[in-house]
Amino acid sequence: MKRAASIVLAAVLVIGVGVAIYLGNSGSGAQKSRTDLSIVKGVIGSEKAAFFNDQRVQDAFAQHGLKVEVDTAGSRQIATSVDLDKYDFAFPSSTPAAEKIQRERKITQTYAPFYSPMVIASFRPIVDVLARQGVAKKDADGTWTFDMAAYLELAKKGTRWDQLPGNTTYPVRKNVLVRTTDPRNSNSAAMYLAITSHVLNGDAVVQGSADAQKVLPLVSRLFLEQGYTATTSEQPFDDYLSLGMGNTPLLFLYEAQFVDRAIRDDGSITADMVLMYPSPSVLSKHTVVPLNDKGSQVGKLLVEDPQLQELAATSGFRTTRPAQFAQVVKDHKVLVRTNVVDLIDPPTYETLERLLAAIGRTYEAKGAGPAPKDEELR
Amino acid sequence: MRWWGARVGRGRRVFVAGILAVSALLGAACSTSEEKNVSTGPGKAGELRVLAGSELADLEPILTEAAKKTGVTVRFTFAGTLDGVQQVIDGTTRDRYDAIWFSSNRYLSLHPESAGKTATETKVMTSPVVLGLAASKAKELGWSSGAQVTWADVAEAAGAGKFTYGMTNPASSNSGFSALVGVAAALAGTGAALEQPDVDKVAPQLEKFFSAQKLTAGSSGWLSDAYAERSTGKQSGTKVDGIVNYESVLLSLNASGRLPEPLTLIYPSDGVVTADYPLTLLSSATDQVAEGYRALVGYLRSPDVQREIMVRTHRRPAIPQVKVDKAFGPASLVELPFPAKLGVADGLINTYFDKLRRPARTIYVLDVSGSMSGDRIESLRNALVKLTGADDTVAGKFQRFHGREEVTLLPFSSSPESPQTFTVPEKSPDTALADIRAAAMALESGGGTAVYDSVLQAYDQLKSESQGDYATSIVLMTDGENTTGSRLDGFKQAHSTFPPRLRQIPIFTILFGEGSTDEMNQLATLTGGRSFDAREGSLESAFQEIRGYQ
């Protein structure tokens, strides 16, 4: 009986997108059993909202007597401005953000239950245009590679879509720019910075201020020229899906976001949507930082519970067992790259923060040029 | 749809429409009265107190249903976006609101102080800001649906006097601000987010575009109604060929059957700026409230409800599972970049006022009769002083008298006193503003109330002024019944003999003290103006709100 009630309860708890949450609202059993579960509150990167919103995930936690409630925020917001006292765990999307919380809160153990490579979502006509420029390349397995160096050449010149030779399909008077989140508070933007700074630094991890100096003028432009950017990766992905190519021709995101939507098969991923793997790319390691014992329990379950690991794979994440993910994408006919090999290491937390801070300052500048000055780098 | 306005929480805000009462206004009024039920203190389960843009009043039926299905009742308090921004960044939302819901959070996010103030945001629907032109005019310009039109084409035709339009004030309403950002970004054509030098560079083209803006308004709803009522001749005032507004407002107008001919929606091929209505939980919300918020947004984003929103409000769905209906324009529109820097956004608004728009010319006809003595005359002085740059709030700083603007103070008691006219120079406005401030502070009360003689005097002055290309209006503030000189009938008679140029000047009346509500409404209606209620709010906010219409 308790189990059945928990299932109903899970339905009540489902919080996200497009779910008829009211189904479970009837029946006094649901109301009553609320008290049976221990509530655990977490603040997570928005790209994991779909996972936590999944009824099966809520159900799996309920089997362990837990009701997990989550708020979403940008991963760097989680590491900086979110009031963590309200939560039992934080679940940012990257190691650097997790490390910062870990250090500040003096937490010894963290959990990394799954990861996701950073990718670029686009549309067939755009990919074709970029292929002619040598920016997009098709691999033997049918997946696409997005050549970062070639793209950065276009970006450096401020090339607009309507300036690309032979581009009749998307002759838009806007710069060829990959859309990202806000570098001041979101992890995926920091991941983008990790990649672009690496390429601009001559394929080497940025270390120290001379390197930073070299890359900052262009990487700042890559963000500033986009104008307003959202704080979470879910928002631009929403735009990509529902407002389409005109709105968001190129989007930097977590592979899991795209794969999750494809797996759900709800009609949101259409035939002309294409996933590209940046060359090089970087992995986002989603890391649970427990803030108390209840939070630890969640982290531990996510790593150890076979059902939750399986569900993570069906939410588009790559888990510790590659076969799981491979099976899921095969079952749902999602075209992903099996082995993402061209990967870089992100700069250290301190370097990344310093770069992000320098970029952040350019947002406050009133003048035209976003290029930061020497002293701003300390 | 207003960006700023009275702090609603400090006094109930009621609009008295100088024109026919319309759905948006009715919605605003009735929901505002609901505000009395809104509790203060930490939020409670089953309730979401939302500081929102007034245009969301049209979601009432959907939210009523949502309350039944989710157990979460939304309690709206309406405010302008800029006022909302101010309340969020200075923290006055705490214990009064659990969430905010405006057409966009973009401008809010440009303020560094907003960091950490909001928790989660969820887009509920979208609507681009586009140009709607009477079908025959669109055809004449070769812009019938399907034609490729750019903002440069629109600016060119506007500059050549080929059409006129109405648009909301960019500092008062998000639709006007979105249009300003969009047209500036498109004309700059840099392909990147605007920087101030870009704005300066395209100023001549922008001036052309704005030279055709013959109607301005503080709210998108009022603008839409004014367009409808004027196109059929039911309302006096300047007629325009179209309006810049949300696609949803334009489609609603077309569906309403109120227009003599439908509007053709022009989606410039170089892009638009889109409102995305993020329902945003504030960080200060309690756990139970947050739980309710999640249930509510889950419900609002479910496919059936998204379809319902699309059908009822003509806004586009926010989820990909629900496809845009054929009645809408292109399914995927190019989005123009929104400025990344607060300085650029604010600079653009200031440039609009000081340089781009047709300057305002206003005669303030101000009652300084005996009944105004004491607090009343003091609040009148303060209301005027606020407009001279004494208000540095997010909303208030754009309400000051702008460069090139001409301001006349015409105080009256038993008869009109001698008017004082000030012209604010485009650069270094401080001296002129100080002069206006001094004149306002010098207002003294005493004597009777010759309302209509004084208003007629204002028209006299306008008749003799050099014509120039001004957006001219009269503001009338009186706290009592007319006691001396001409009466309303006499004024109406005189008004009917005015040349069209004078007849088209709107009077914005302020209901205050014991002034006659009926007569003030009649004056506003007759002239295509609007009346503003300062009896329960304040003179200050009425004067500020009127800035949106000048």
pLDDT for the residue numbered B246: 96
Give pLDDT tens digits for B381-439: 999 999 999 888 988 889 999 999 999 999 999 999 999 999 999 989 999 999 999 99
Task: Tell if the CB–CB gap between B109 and A248 is shorter than 8 Å.
Answer: no
Nearest by CB: B302 against A20, A229, A267: A20
Number of cross-chain residue pairs from A and B with Cβ atoms under 8 Å apart: 174
Q: From A318, A319, A353, A320, select the one nearest A336 (Cα to Cα).
A: A318
Distance between CA B405 and CA B452 in Å, rounded?
Answer: 25
- Tell me what pLDDT residue A361 has: 93
A203 touches chain B (CB under 8 A): no
Minimal C-alpha gap between B8 and chain A (Å)? 29
pLDDT score at B3: 44
Q: How many domains does chain A have?
A: 2
Residues of B277-308 as b/e, b for ≥16 C-beta within 10 angstroms? bbbbbbbbbeeebbbbbbbbbbbbbbbebbeb
Q: Which pLDDT value is given to residue A234?
A: 87
Q: Which of A71, A83, A266 sits opposite B321 (nearest CB)?
A: A266
User: pTM to 2 decimals?
Assistant: 0.86
**A160 domain residue, yes or no:** yes
The DSSP annotation for A301-366 comes to HHHH-HHHHHHHHHTT-EES-HHHHHHHHHHTT----S----B-PPPPHHHHHHHHHHHHHHHH--
Are residues A193 and A231 both part of a single domain? yes
CB contact under 8 A, A368 and B335: no
Q: Reduce the DSSP state of residue B209 to 3 states and report it.
A: helix
Cβ within 8 Å, pair A365-B271: no
The reply to whether A293 and A360 lie within a common domain is no
Which residues in chain B are closer than 8 Å to A41, comparing Cβ atoms?
A: 287
- pLDDT (0 to 100) of residue A34: 52
Q: Do domains B8-126+276-317 and B127-274 have the same CATH topology?
A: yes
The total number of residues written for chain B in this structure: 550
Same domain for A203 and A183, yes or no, is yes
Pick the CATH number of B8-126+276-317 from 3.40.50.12780, 3.40.50.720, 3.40.190.10, 3.40.50.970: 3.40.190.10
Pairing of strands B213-217, B165-168: parallel
Q: Residues 261 to 290 of A: which have CB under 8 A from any B CB?
A: 261, 266-268
Mean pLDDT, contiguous 10-residue spans, chain A (378 residues)? 41 34 36 70 88 93 95 80 92 86 93 95 97 96 97 97 94 96 89 97 95 96 96 90 96 95 91 97 94 96 94 92 92 92 89 93 67 37
Q: Which residues of A touch B276 (CB under 8 A)?
A: 239
Low-confidence ranges of chain B (pLDDT < 70): 1-38
Q: Contact A247/B335, CB-based, under 8 Å? A: yes
Enter the ipTM. 0.87
Q: How far apart are CA B119 and CA A236, in angstroms?
A: 17
Which residues in B lie closer than 8 A to residue A228 (C-beta atoms)? Answer: 106, 109-110, 193, 337-340
Class in CATH terms, B359-547: alpha beta
In chain B, % helix, strand, coil (3-state, to 5) comes to: 45, 20, 40
Dist CA B319 CA B170 (whole Å):
29
Q: Where are the domains of chain B?
A: 8-126+276-317, 127-274, 359-547
Query: What is residue B532's DSSP assignment?
Result: E
CB B536 within 8 A of CB B11: yes
Residue B292 CB contacts under 8 Å (≥ 6 apart), including other chains: B45, B46, B47, B48, B70, B71, B72
Measured between alpha carbons, how far apart are the two ends of chain B, in Å? Answer: 17
Same domain, yes or no, for A209 and A349? yes
CA distance linking residue B439 with residue B431, whole number of Å: 12
Q: What angle do CA B446, B450, B452 make, to 5 degrees?
A: 150
Beta carbons of A127 and A276 less than 8 angstroms apart: yes
CB A90 within 8 A of CB A289: yes
Residue B531, beta-bridge partner list: B16, B509
Instruction: Write out pLDDT tens, residues B475-523.
Output: 999 999 899 999 999 999 999 999 999 999 999 999 999 989 999 999 9
Looking at the structure, do residues A162 and A305 belong to the same domain, yes or no? Answer: no
For B127-274, CATH number? 3.40.190.10
Domain that holds residue A81: 2-114+285-331
What CATH number has the domain bearing residue A103?
Answer: 3.40.190.10
What are the backbone dihedrals phi and psi of residue B480, each rounded to the nearest 5 degrees, phi first?
-155, 175
**Chain B CA closest to residue A41:** B287
Which DSSP category does B55 fall into? G
| pLDDT value, residue A240 | 97
